Structure 1
Amino acid sequence: MSIVSSQDYRDAMSCLGAAVNIVTTDGNAGRAGFTASAICSVTDDPPTLLVCMNRGSSAYASVTGNGVLCVNVLSGRHERLSRLFGGGIPVDERFAAAAWSTLETGASVLIDCAVSFDCSIVDVANVGTHDVLFCRVVALRRSDCTDNLIYFGRDYHVVRAGLT
């Protein structure tokens, strides 16, 4: 069996478009947030999604320590915010760039995003450099989402809903 190199794998993954999200947390372990595209639905009964998170992330200790997070699905107007939460910018500056509220868990909910999934982490699996966080959705907020911010081909794109 041949071994696929990390670079070949990353190059191939650039062909897989994915929604861009800002994952946030808040609580005793601190406020934090990061940009993520490795998120998907697991089941609707009970409502559960998964978030893949690098254990080397600056947000890792806060997310796992708090045990809660919010997945904020971004619209086209959020590209700049996504870049801020992509790393290297102090946490306070990241959050100062947008308007936030909370739902059930206390994690930050982006006021004008397409949808926010407020979650409690119910299970964790370790795989390579990442943890796969299984997150029970305890509350959500939807807007009139007409577009999503997508990451494809190592760049941002906006996908708009068809007009009916």
Structure 2
Amino acid sequence: MSARSALALAVEPSEQALAEDFKRAMRRLTSTVSIIATGVDGTRSGMVATAVSSLCTEPPSLLICINRTASLYQPLLANQRFSVNLLDATQNRLVGIFAGQLKGSARFEHGQWESADDLPYLSDAQATLFCSVDARLSYATHEVIVGRVEKSRVNERISPLLWQDGKPAQSCELIH
């Protein structure tokens, strides 16, 4: 082994150290908090998510990332349709509920949930995007799902609930 190779091995972090460094870095990536929801045979499923991103406008589409062990995963694949509800800063209490404090349909006893075309949506969310599964990509423990937006609802107030450094945050408008 050359001196250069030995030095490279000594400086490269272990997988565990790399994972910890990655988590620390991602705590600096601020994201809007959403609730992804679907329904199958009258049973609603939902989870909180920050791994949601716009993809393109032609056709209108977005990406969501779901762990294949999440309770939402199988119902979403069965229905092939879902809503993405972008939370308002006042909806912080829903995060814990949809992150595991409650299970199954009990989660939907909290918040102002309605149904459109048999798809649950949060009527007072900042915005709701109604999507159909258009493509999927498996990667490690997760499924990256392309949702083609079929319709959307937008409330006028813009005050997103954000997630930063492992806790809720709120945006502020910068004055120019």
Question: How far apart, in 1, do the equivalents of 2:174 and 2:131 lie?
Answer: 29
Q: Which amino acid aligns with 1:85?
A: F
Structure 2 residue ranges without an equivalent (≥5): 1-7
Question: How far apart, in 1, do the equivalents of 2:128 and 2:91 lie?
Answer: 14
Aligned to 1:99: 112
Question: How far apart, in 2, do the equivalents of 1:146 and 1:162 lie?
Answer: 14
2:113 is aligned with 1:113: no
Aligned to 1:153: 165
The one of 42, 51, 68 equivalent to 2:81 is 68
RMSD across aligned positions (CA): 2.0
Aligned to 1:87: 100
- Tell me how far 1:12 sits from its aligned partner: 1.0
Q: Which amino acid aligns with 2:79?
A: N
Aligned to 2:62: 49
Q: Highest CA radius of gyration, 1 or 2?
A: 2
- Tell me how far 1:88 sits from its aligned partner: 3.9
Q: Percent identity?
A: 27
Q: Which region of structure 1 is more displaced relative to structure 2, 89-98 or 45-54? A: 89-98
Alpha-carbon spacing, 1:90–1:119, altered in 2? closer, same or farther (3 Å): same
Question: How far apart, in 2, do the equivalents of 1:45 and 1:76 lie?
Answer: 29
1:14–1:153 contact (8 Å) kept in structure 2: yes
2:52 is aligned with 1:16: no
Higher helix share: 2
Question: How far apart, in 1, do the equivalents of 2:40 and 2:104 lie?
Answer: 14
Structure 1 segments of 4 or more deviating over 3 A? 1-4, 160-163
- Tell me how far 1:9 sits from its aligned partner: 1.1
Question: How far apart, in 2, do the equivalents of 1:103 and 1:49 lie?
Answer: 19
Question: How far apart, in 2, do the equivalents of 1:48 and 1:123 lie?
Answer: 10
TM-score (norm 2): 0.85
Structure 1 residue ranges without an equivalent (≥5): none
Aligned to 2:3: none
